[in-house]
């Protein structure tokens, strides 16, 4: 009798899990990538070279990707298929410490940092991630991999990106709490410098302490693992994407030569649409400048614009689609057409008009009750739809 009860419980659990997964897979729509899909050939051609080199995706977005949501699912898929292991490029200071499930990140409180999504009163030079950290007298930073994702549970190669340090500046670092090693940093002015810190066995922790580096600008560290593909999460919370213009032009040649970006994903818009008073022609002009800047320094890289998803607005007792979302998506389509880049309509991929409620009410929930942001599970669903769309294009333009 007990065995029968146990079997019934197991059957019930599996049938419940299957029903939930079945419900999730049916949500939303398969929406193709439009615009200039031929321009994605730079990226698809690079995928064939990952056995011999590292290629990178820069995933820029607003709070929809904050904390590695969507990005990590892309990372897991690409690294499983094309190699590479690690979270990729991480800023030394950021505001997403509590949100990122994929890494433990701590830094001392004597850093002075600025970004494109915070004020930059001192006009610090902004790096590729949209952030710069200015070192104090005893600045330190700590990263620890986590097991929440098979792509980020370790690293074996690290490089440090910085500028404006003196000839006696050094970095002490420890791997997995072992003895500290000390390296002298390159004396630099306003150009980017890169120092390899570690290249060895798989590790989970790195602790860095900076000596005689006060006033130096630090842009980030790569936590990689061999040739393959890396998807770098650059979330500009509350931003429209226009602030990508503020990445420092003197630094970009160095980033371009050291980080082999072959795809730029620009996933912005909900903050613009939600404001309700933006002149979209102004926004179109500014984003065209952003794309022009990317092309200047990364001429053989693909660019993909992704629209915002559905955004709910309360009307009486109902939640309906914010009236500006569809207008804004049209504006993004115009940007993609004028710039001759690719475009993916995430609003339609979620199901279009009034779809956010279904995502909130799914089991497990795929969106939060702010009727805007996706849960971790929702990020997995939307990334799967994006990957499906990408590889349909790949099959067309061989």
User: What's the pLDDT at 237?
Assistant: 87
Query: Residue 365 is part of which domain span?
Result: 27-84+227-398
- What CATH number has the domain bearing residue 236? 3.40.50.1110
Does some domain include residue 298?
A: yes
Q: What is the mean pLDDT of the chain?
A: 92
User: What's the pLDDT at 21?
Assistant: 45
Residue 83 CB-density burial (10 A; 0-12 exposed, 13-18 middle, 19+ buried): middle
User: What's the pLDDT at 98?
Assistant: 78
Which of 166, 201, 226 finishes a domain? 226
For the chain, the domain total comes to: 2
Does some domain include residue 290?
A: yes
Q: What is the mean pLDDT of residues 198-221?
A: 97
User: What's the pLDDT at 22?
Assistant: 44
Which of 226, 260, 295 finishes a domain? 226
User: What's the pLDDT at 274?
Assistant: 80
Does some domain include residue 185?
A: yes
Summarize pLDDT for 161-181 with one digit per residue, the tens. 999 999 999 999 999 999 999
Q: Is the pLDDT of residue 353 over 80?
A: yes
The pair of three-digit structure tokens given for residue 118, joined into one six-digit string: 């915070």
- For 231, the enclosing helix (H) or strand (E) is strand 228-235
User: What's the pLDDT at 130?
Assistant: 96
Q: Are residues 262 and 218 in the same domain?
A: no
**DSSP state, 84?**
-
Q: Is the pLDDT of residue 374 over 50?
A: yes
User: What's the pLDDT at 2?
Assistant: 52
Summarize pLDDT for 273-332 with one digit per residue, the tens. 887 766 789 999 999 999 999 999 999 999 999 999 999 998 888 899 999 999 999 999
Q: Are residues 185 and 298 in the same domain?
A: no
Q: Are residues 355 and 233 in the same domain?
A: yes
CA distance 131 to 345: 28
CA distance 135 to 328: 40
Does some domain include residue 177?
A: yes
Positive/negative CA dihedral, 214, 216, 217, 222: negative
Q: Is the pLDDT of residue 398 over 80?
A: no
Q: Is the pLDDT of residue 109 over 60?
A: yes
The structure tokens 């200047």 sit at 296
- For 199, the enclosing helix (H) or strand (E) is strand 193-203
The structure tokens 């006696």 sit at 168
Q: Are residues 268 and 336 in the same domain?
A: yes
User: What's the pLDDT at 11?
Assistant: 47
CA distance 110 to 88: 25
User: What's the pLDDT at 192?
Assistant: 97
Name the pLDDT band for 13 (thresholds 50, 70, 90): very low
Q: Are residues 164 and 185 in the same domain?
A: yes
Q: Is the pLDDT of residue 381 over 80?
A: yes
Q: Is the pLDDT of residue 18 over 60?
A: no
User: What's the pLDDT at 201?
Assistant: 96
Q: Is the pLDDT of residue 20 over 70?
A: no
Question: What is the pTM for the complete model shown?
Answer: 0.92
Q: Are residues 162 and 216 in the same domain?
A: yes
Does some domain include residue 7?
A: no
Q: What is the mean pLDDT of residues 105-110?
A: 96
User: What's the pLDDT at 245?
Assistant: 94
Q: Are residues 364 and 215 in the same domain?
A: no
The percentage of the chain sitting over the pLDDT mark of 90, rounded to a whole number, equals 82
Cα 381 off chain centre by: 16
User: What's the pLDDT at 35?
Assistant: 97
CA distance 345 to 292: 22
Q: Are residues 346 and 360 in the same domain?
A: yes
Lowest mean pLDDT among 109-113, 191-195, 272-276, 304-308: 272-276
Q: What angle do CA 364, 365, 366 make, to 5 degrees?
A: 115
Contact predicate 186/165, CB 8 Å? yes
The pair of three-digit structure tokens given for residue 82, joined into one six-digit string: 């094309």
- DSSP string across 311-322: -EEEETTEEEE-
User: What's the pLDDT at 25?
Assistant: 58
Does some domain include residue 242?
A: yes
Q: Are residues 185 and 231 in the same domain?
A: no
Q: Are residues 193 and 283 in the same domain?
A: no
More confident residue, 225 or 314: 225
- What CATH number has the domain bearing residue 126? 2.60.120.1360
Cα 179 off chain centre by: 32
Which of 226, 247, 278 finishes a domain? 226
The pair of three-digit structure tokens given for residue 342, joined into one six-digit string: 């690719």
- For 74, the enclosing helix (H) or strand (E) is helix 71-82
Does some domain include residue 13?
A: no
Does some domain include residue 16?
A: no
User: What's the pLDDT at 12?
Assistant: 45
Q: Are residues 241 and 197 in the same domain?
A: no
Q: Is the pLDDT of residue 253 over 90?
A: yes
Q: Are residues 210 and 291 in the same domain?
A: no
Name the pLDDT band for 8 (thresholds 50, 70, 90): very low
CA distance 311 to 280: 18
């Amino acid at each position: 009798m007990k065995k029968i009860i146990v079997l019934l419980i197991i059957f019930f659990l599996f049938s419940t899990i299957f029903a939930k997964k079945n419900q999730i897979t049916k949500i939303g729509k398969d929406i193709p990538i439009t615009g200039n899909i031929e321009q994605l050939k730079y990226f698809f051609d690079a995928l064939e070279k990952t056995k011999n080199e590292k290629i990178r995706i820069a995933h820029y977005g607003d709070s929809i990707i904050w904390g590695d949501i969507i990005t990590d699912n892309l990372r897991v898929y690409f690294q499983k298929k094309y190699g590479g292991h690690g979270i990729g490029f991480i800023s030394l200071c950021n505001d997403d410490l509590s949100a990122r499930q994929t890494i433990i990140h701590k830094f001392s409180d004597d850093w002075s940092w600025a970004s494109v999504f915070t004020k930059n009163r001192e006009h610090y030079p902004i790096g590729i991630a949209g952030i710069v950290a200015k070192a104090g007298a005893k600045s330190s930073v700590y990263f620890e991999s986590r097991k929440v994702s098979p792509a980020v549970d370790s690293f074996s190669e690290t490089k440090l990106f910085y500028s404006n340090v003196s000839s006696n500046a050094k970095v002490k670092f420890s791997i997995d709490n072992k003895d500290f090693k000390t390296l002298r940093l390159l004396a630099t002015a306003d150009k980017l410098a890169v120092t390899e810190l570690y290249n060895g066995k798989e590790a989970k922790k790195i602790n860095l302490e900076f000596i005689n580096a006060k006033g130096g600008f630090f842009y980030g560290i790569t936590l990689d693992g061999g040739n393959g593909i890396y998807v770098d999460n650059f979330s500009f919370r509350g931003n429209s994407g226009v602030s990508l213009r503020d990445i420092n032009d003197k630094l970009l040649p160095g980033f371009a030569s050291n980080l082999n970006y072959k795809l730029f994903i620009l996933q912005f818009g909900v903050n613009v649409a939600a404001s309700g008073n933006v002149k979209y022609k102004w926004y179109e002009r500014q984003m065209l400048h952003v794309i022009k800047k990317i092309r200047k320094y990364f001429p053989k890289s693909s660019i993909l614009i992704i629209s915002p998803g559905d955004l709910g607005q309360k009307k009486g007792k109902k939640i309906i689609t914010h009236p500006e979302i569809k207008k804004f998506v049209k504006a993004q389509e115009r940007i993609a057409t004028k710039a001759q880049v690719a475009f993916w309509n995430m609003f339609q991929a979620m199901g279009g008009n009034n779809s956010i409620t279904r995502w909130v009410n799914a089991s497990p929930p795929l969106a939060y009750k702010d009727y805007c942001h996706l849960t971790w599970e929702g990020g997995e669903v939307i990334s799967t739809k994006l990957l499906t769309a990408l590889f349909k294009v790949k099959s067309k333009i061989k």
